[in-house]
Amino acid sequence: AFLVPPAPSTRSEVTAAAKGDDRPPTSTVTALSQAVLRCDGSELDSDFDDEFDPPVAPVVGRDLPNTEELDEDLQSLINEIDTGMDDAADSLLGTSATFTWSPDFDSFRGVRGEFSGPTPGPIKDYETPYDAFTDIWDEDIIRLIATETNRYAHQTIENMRNTGILKSSSRLRMWTDTNADEIRVFFAMLMYMAIDPRTSITEYWTSSEVLQLPGFRSIMSFNRYILLNKCLHFVDNAVESQQLSQSGVSSSAGVSRRQDKLAPIIQHLGKKFEALYNLGPDISIDESLSLFKDKRSWAQTIRSKASRFGIKSYELCESRTGYMAKFRIYMGKDDSSYGDLSLGVNLGRESTKVVLELMQGLEHRGHCVVMDNYYNCPSLARYLKSLGFDCLGTLRANRRNVPSDIKVSKKVKMGTIISRHSGDVSIIAWMDSKMVNIISTYHRPDTYIGTRAGKQTVRPVCVKDYNKSMEGVDFKDQNLSMYMLERKRGVKWYLTLFKRLLNVSVHNAFVMYQSSLKRNDKLPVTHREFRYALAESLLKRHRPCSIAISQAPVGNVRLRQNIMHEPEYLTGRENTRRCVICQRQKKSKAVHSRCVTCDAYLCFGDCWRIWHSATKLPGIDIRGRKRKRKE
């Protein structure tokens, strides 16, 4: 490769070995059967989100070899997608979709547009990582998460109790309402887990003399973490999807009906990402996957990505830093919506539509859009130029309107450069160990001398510019793959996607903070240092004493509602005591459950509620009384 990044990249640079540049379509597998899916609130529902390993979706890889080596069905689907995208691009140009290619660049009109957008970078400076992060996750959205999490927990408990499936040993019986501070502490725990990944969630609370993490265990008990992870929610399930969409969540906001469970988060982050940062002149459009194995119709398999299986999203990022300004999540389409057109044609048209949606609001500012060969075609490049964008990226030779000289140039000598232009669009093909095609609206067939394996070679400047433009996106992908919050696989797709968006927000906050440091001539920090500082700040500012485990109660805290009454379930016969409420009513019932805050053993359910709410407890207090001696 020409430009070797400091860490392994998730993207291959434009060389002959860049197999990931041949992109096939999305996966179209059927939905996961009800036998595999776990319904919300079930006892099987993601208590240990790394223990559920559903069947792997059939592979439709994106790191494909040359198109001649593909099987006939897959090649046919790829051609259909290309046709759909070409049709969509041609319809945008209308009568201008005619290309006459020439090797003489004296008549080439392509010139890089002057950037006229606002000054790149965050709209304000940030003193700490905490300030940048909380500007994205403000108080309103955190309170909404806490409210909906509490609502969902109570709905789940009630539904399970009504259906008779709430077991006496269920953790849900230990539920106490959360708040905004605890949600932020939960975020900090996710960040710490990403910094120190372990194979199982239980290993973070292990009591092993060698492997234990005393500091981590003091943040939150294992049972409380599992309950928060299980009940984390963002909308009221009782609200119908139609009512939700009428309240302001619509496809125009980048949210489809299938995304209702995550709609407030998607809408909030979409607005924040776009409003808090001004993009630089070079931007890129790419796809990413949130790690999730499933057979839902929108689950994808892209072998060239760090997360090879998951939920696909289209992303518009700043090329220099990888800051993600806009995104659209692909949730699939019903086959019935395709009409008389084939699946591949519709997928192609949808991809072109997404590209244009992501770029709305950035017209005529002089941005250069860098894309790979899944999106690029001559008609789209010309249309983007008419909107004030420049275009640069790789190109598949079988796309419509590509000159025949480029299509038949596969058997030329290594180092050969073939260039053609049609007014404002140029295509430059360069033979390395295989043919690399670059499409641009401002590049001529200029070359430079590069070094590879100690040898000097002549290479096109456009290839160098393309690789350089994708460095920031590679940087973002590397950071997200190194600190994956969604690395634990669960059965709830919306939790996986939420953790992915939370991870992206950490990266965006890092870019905002780093830009502030640079703007004020301060020393930069590494991405790892930023995550450490952010997690530590969240803990120091939002962890009340009552969250830490094994805290001694101060005074009579039984009726205090402004603190968290932490439940604990102990195992072993030696850890049983009589329930204090049952004991007052002269019932002999030994339990393993206790309130750590009150230091009282209680039955989960009615006894727990009575103990923490009744001013006057029922029965007689017989604890501590001495028995009378028999005369």
Per-position DSSP letters for 553-582, written without gaps between them: P-S--TT--SS---EEE--SGGG-EE-HHH
Whether residue 316 sits in one domain with residue 191: no
Q: Is residue 245 part of a domain?
A: no
Rounded distance between C-alpha atoms, residue 617 and residue 404, angstroms: 88
Element (H, E) at 328: strand 324-329
What are the φ/ψ torsions at residue 121 (nearest 5 degrees)? 125, 180
Q: Look at residues 504, 152, 108 and name the one whose alpha carbon lies nearest to residue 324.
A: 504
Mean pLDDT of 229-251: 68
Per-residue pLDDT band for 16 (boundaries 50, 70, 90) equals very low
Q: Which residues contact 299 (CB under 8 A, 6 or more apart)?
A: 27, 29, 57, 292, 293, 309, 310, 311
Round to whole Å and give the CA distance between 503 and 592: 38
Residue 275 pLDDT > 90, yes or no? yes
Question: How confident is the model over 576-601, as a mean pLDDT?
Answer: 86
What pLDDT does 34 receive? 35
Q: Of 478, 503, 527, which residue is a domain's last?
A: 478
| Same domain membership, residue 473 and residue 444 | yes
pLDDT in tens, 254-267: 455 677 889 999 99
pLDDT of 494 > 50? The answer is yes
Instruction: Give me the amino acid identity at 100.
Output: T
Distance of alpha carbon 94 from alpha carbon 96, whole angstroms: 5
The Cα 489–Cα 68 span in angstroms is 36
Residues forming beta bridges with residue 295, ordered by sequence position: none
Same domain, 80 and 147: no
Query: For the chain, how many helices (H) and strands (E)?
Result: 17, 18
How many CB atoms are located within 10 Å of the residue 371 CB?
Answer: 22
Domain-embedded: residue 48: no
Angle, in degrees to the nearest 10, between helices 263-275 and 129-136 = 130
Over residues 322-345, the mean pLDDT reads 64
Same structural domain, 129 and 181:
yes
Residues 6+ apart with CB under 8 A from 73: none
Q: Is residue 294 very low, low, confident or very high in pLDDT (cuts 50, 70, 90)?
A: low
Q: Is 11 exposed, middle or buried (0-12, 13-18, 19+ CB in 10 A)?
A: buried
Whether residue 61 is predicted with pLDDT greater than 60 in this model: the reply is no
Residue type (1 letter), 20: G
Distance CA 119, CA 125 (A): 13
User: Looking at the domain assignment, is residue 563 inside a domain?
Assistant: yes
pLDDT band at 333 (very low <50, low <70, confident <90, very high): low
Do the domain assignments include residue 411?
yes
Q: Which of 255, 237, 315, 112 is nearest to 246 (CA)?
A: 255
**Chain segment 99-116, per-residue pLDDT in tens:** 999 999 999 999 999 999
Q: Give the pLDDT confidence of 35-50 residue by residue, as tens digits.
A: 333 333 343 344 443 3
Average pLDDT over residues 387-402: 92
Calculate mean pLDDT across residues 575-604: 86
How far, CA to CA in Å, does 547 sit from each of 133, 160, 218, 568? 22, 27, 8, 12
Residues 474 and 444 in one domain: yes
Whether the per-residue pLDDT at 253 is higher than 80: the answer is no
pLDDT category, 182, cuts 50, 70, 90?
A: very high
- Could you say which of 478, 501, 520 is where a domain stops? 478
What is the spatial distance between Cα 572 and Cα 592, in angstroms, rounded to a whole number?
A: 8
Position 325 confidence tier, pLDDT thresholds 50, 70, 90: very high
Sheet of 567-569: strand order equals: 567-569, 593-595, 600-601
The 10 Å Cβ neighbour count of residue 357 is 15
Structure confidence by residue, pLDDT tens digits, 515-529: 999 999 999 999 999
Sign (positive/negative) of CA torsion 411, 415, 418, 424?
positive
Q: What is the SS3 assignment for 458?
A: strand
For residue 223, pLDDT beyond 80: yes
Q: What is the pLDDT of residue 309?
A: 53
Confidence band, pLDDT 50/70/90 cuts, at residue 26: very low
Has residue 540 got a pLDDT over 50? yes
Residue 271 within any structural domain of the chain: no
pLDDT at 7: 40
pLDDT greater than 90 at residue 187? yes
Residue 82 pLDDT: 72
In sequence order, which residues have a C-beta less than 8 Å from that of residue 527 and are 6 or more positions away?
479, 483, 507, 510
State the pLDDT at residue 18: 41
Average pLDDT of the residues in 172-189: 95
Report the range of poorest mean pLDDT among 293-307, 476-490, 587-601: 293-307
One domain for residues 565 and 447: no
Is residue 527 situated within a structural domain? yes
What is the domain range of residue 567?
Answer: 558-631
Query: What is the reported pLDDT for 238?
Result: 80
pLDDT > 80? residue 331: no
Average pLDDT over residues 547-557: 45
The per-residue pLDDT for 199 is 87
Q: What confidence score (pLDDT) does residue 74 get?
A: 54
Do 200 and 337 sit in the same domain of this protein? no
121: left (phi over 0), alpha (psi -120 to 50) or beta: left
123-127, 476-480, 483-487, 554-558, range with greatest mean pLDDT = 123-127
Per-residue pLDDT, 2: 34
Q: Which amino acid is at 441?
A: T
Same domain? 344 vs 423: yes
Is it the case that residue 53 has pLDDT exceeding 70? no
pLDDT of residue 85: 73
Q: What tens digit of pLDDT does each residue of 602-630 get? A: 998 889 888 888 888 888 765 544 444 44
- Looking at 523, 547, 571, the residue that finishes a domain is 547
How many domains does the chain contain in total?
3
Provide the sign of the torsion angle of the four alpha carbons 355, 358, 361, 365, taken in this order. negative
Q: Are 256 and 331 in contact (CB under 8 A)?
A: yes
For the ranges 8-17, 103-112, 206-215, 326-335, the lowest mean pLDDT is seen at: 8-17
466 shares a domain with 359: yes
Q: Does the pLDDT value for residue 512 go beyond 80?
A: yes
Q: Indicate if the pLDDT at residue 54 is higher than 80.
A: no
Q: What's this model's pTM, rounded to 2 decimal places?
A: 0.74
Q: Is the dihedral angle over the CA atoms 203, 204, 206, 209 positive or is it negative?
A: positive
Whether residues 489 and 470 share a domain: the answer is no
Name the residue among 338, 343, 349 with its Cα closest to residue 88: 349
What residues contact residue 486 under an 8 Å CB cut-off, 6+ apart?
Answer: 290, 291, 292, 307, 496, 497, 499, 500, 503
Q: In the structure, what pLDDT confidence band is assigned to residue 313 with cuts at 50, 70 and 90?
A: confident
CB 32 within 8 A of CB 54: yes
Residue 6 predicted with pLDDT over 70: no
Residues 332 and 450 in one domain: yes
The residue among 208 and 557 whose pLDDT is bigger is: 208
- Specify if 31 maps to a domain: no
Q: Is residue 417 part of a domain?
A: yes
Question: What single-letter amino acid sits at 98?
Answer: T
Q: What is the mean pLDDT of the chain?
A: 78
Q: Give yes or no for residue 462 having a pLDDT over 70.
A: yes
Q: What is the DSSP letter of 537?
A: H
The tokens 């973002």 sit on which residue?
Answer: 476
pLDDT in the model for residue 32: 32
Q: How far apart (Å, rounded) are the C-alpha atoms in residues 45 and 50?
A: 12
166 & 193 share domain: yes
Higher pLDDT, 12 or 386: 386
